[in-house]
């Protein structure tokens, strides 16, 4: 009898072990990305800002406190130091197109911000306002058009677009006194934010044929979280006057579509590609008790209109001990660039490449 009980106990333990093993294997996230760690500049980590469809990455490295250098990386040439970058507080990121052109903002000897477009050979052209006002660049397209805004100290800013020739077009506003351009596609369409009459703000779409139209309220004026792709889709922090952290995607055919990340806080869009994939940065609670989150940490998600969302850090092969990944951009191949925090190592610039 004892032998029978022992046999049954062994069988039960085996079944339990098998069930736990299957559950463990099922709960293991699928590996979707291979991580490439970017080299440092003499031991100084590189903070990536943008990636183009050729896999080039532009970013910055803080060589000395308060003195960043512009950095360009690709597989063929490795890390290139493009020299000091006297960055402007209104434009802390660099943009990169498929031709290898870089757009950004520098501060001149008089402390005035000047938008610029830099060619791959190093030639830099300042993009000025005809009236001599301060100019700030935020994005560029593959035709070399740059968007941003101009302003005079203490006065309202206006969204504008510069052609490769340097000619500037003022995009106007939605009836208020101020506007900011955030993104431009290869058709020359621009997305940004504009004040309307009163204290309110809206995300706008500007086209040379139709002018500026409002897409939805933007309670927090999340100007750094507004993108447009070559299909005309706009994604950003807008859509609901009652939800200041609403994230939405807009198209002319479907209108507004809410992008929902369950359990996240303070989400913002970090990139949008031509496959309509949206990259979002947010804070995710580490611990949940009775529906309340505690001890939040940064997290990045990829949202696809057909497949929902994926928590990026949970699907990366490569370095062990990943604490989190914070995305900066996505290209049309689905490659993501950003920073990885690795346990026991610290943070590093990294590219996440989809595993085919």
- The fourth-level CATH superfamily of domain 86-258 is TolB, C-terminal domain (2.120.10.30)
| CA max distance for the chain | 99
The predicted structure's pLDDT at residue 318: 73
Burial class of 232 by CB neighbour count within 10 A (0 to 12, 13 to 18, 19+): middle
302: three-class secondary structure by DSSP: strand
* Mean pLDDT computed over every residue of the chain: 86
Dihedral over Cα of 156, 161, 162, 167: its sign: negative
Instruction: Of 21-30, 98-107, 216-225, give the range with the top mean pLDDT.
Output: 98-107
224: three-class secondary structure by DSSP: helix
The predicted structure's pLDDT at residue 356: 80
Question: Rounded distance, CA 136 to CA 225, Å?
Answer: 17
Residue 5 predicted with pLDDT over 60: no
Measured at the CA of 80, the angle between CA 100 and CA 141, to 5 degrees, comes to: 20
Reported as a single tens digit per residue, the pLDDT across 263-296 is 777 889 999 999 999 999 998 765 555 555 555 6
**Domain limits, the chain:** 32-56+264-356, 86-258
**Backbone angle region of 223, left / alpha / beta, with phi > 0 → left and psi within -120 to 50 → alpha:** alpha
The predicted structure's pLDDT at residue 23: 42
CB atoms within 10 A of CB 74: 15
4: three-class secondary structure by DSSP: helix
Q: Which residue has the higher pLDDT, 55 or 308?
A: 55
């Amino acid at each position: 009898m004892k032998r029978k009980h022992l046999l049954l106990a062994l069988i039960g333990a085996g079944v339990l072990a098998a069930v736990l093993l299957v559950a463990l294997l099922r709960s293991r996230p699928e590996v979707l990305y291979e991580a490439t760690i970017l080299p440092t500049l003499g031991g100084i980590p590189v903070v990536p800002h943008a990636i183009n469809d050729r896999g080039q990455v532009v970013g910055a490295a803080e060589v000395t406190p308060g003195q960043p250098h512009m950095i360009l990386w690709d597989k063929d040439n490795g890390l290139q130091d493009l020299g000091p970058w006297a960055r402007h507080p209104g434009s802390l990121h660099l943009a990169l197109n498929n031709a290898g052109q870089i757009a950004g903002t520098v501060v001149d000897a008089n402390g005035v911000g000047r938008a610029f477009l830099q060619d791959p050979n190093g030639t830099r052209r300042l993009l000025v306002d005809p009236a001599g006002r301060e100019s700030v660049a935020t994005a560029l397209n593959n035709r070399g058009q740059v968007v941003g805004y101009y302003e005079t100290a203490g006065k309202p800013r206006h969204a504008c677009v510069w052609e490769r020739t340097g000619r500037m077009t003022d995009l106007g506003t939605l009836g208020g006194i101020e506007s900011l351009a955030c993104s431009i596609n290869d058709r020359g369409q621009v997305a940004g934010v504009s004040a309307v009459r009163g204290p309110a703000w809206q995300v706008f779409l500007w086209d040379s044929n139709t002018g500026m139209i409002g897409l939805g309220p933007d309670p927090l004026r999340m100007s750094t979280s507004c993108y447009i792709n070559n299909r005309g889709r706009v994604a950003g922090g807008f859509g609901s006057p009652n939800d200041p952290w609403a994230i939405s995607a807009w198209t002319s055919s479907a209108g507004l579509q809410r992008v929902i990340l369950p359990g996240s806080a303070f989400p913002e869009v970090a990139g949008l590609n031509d496959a309509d994939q949206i990259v979002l940065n947010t804070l995710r609670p580490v611990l949940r008790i009775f529906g309340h989150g505690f001890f939040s940490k940064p997290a990045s998600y990829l949202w696809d209109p057909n497949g929902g969302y994926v928590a990026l850090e949970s699907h990366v092969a490569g370095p062990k001990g990943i604490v989190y990944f914070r995305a900066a951009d996505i290209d049309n191949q689905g490659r993501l660039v950003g920073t990885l925090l690795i346990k026991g190592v610290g943070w590093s610039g990294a590219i996440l490449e989809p595993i085919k």
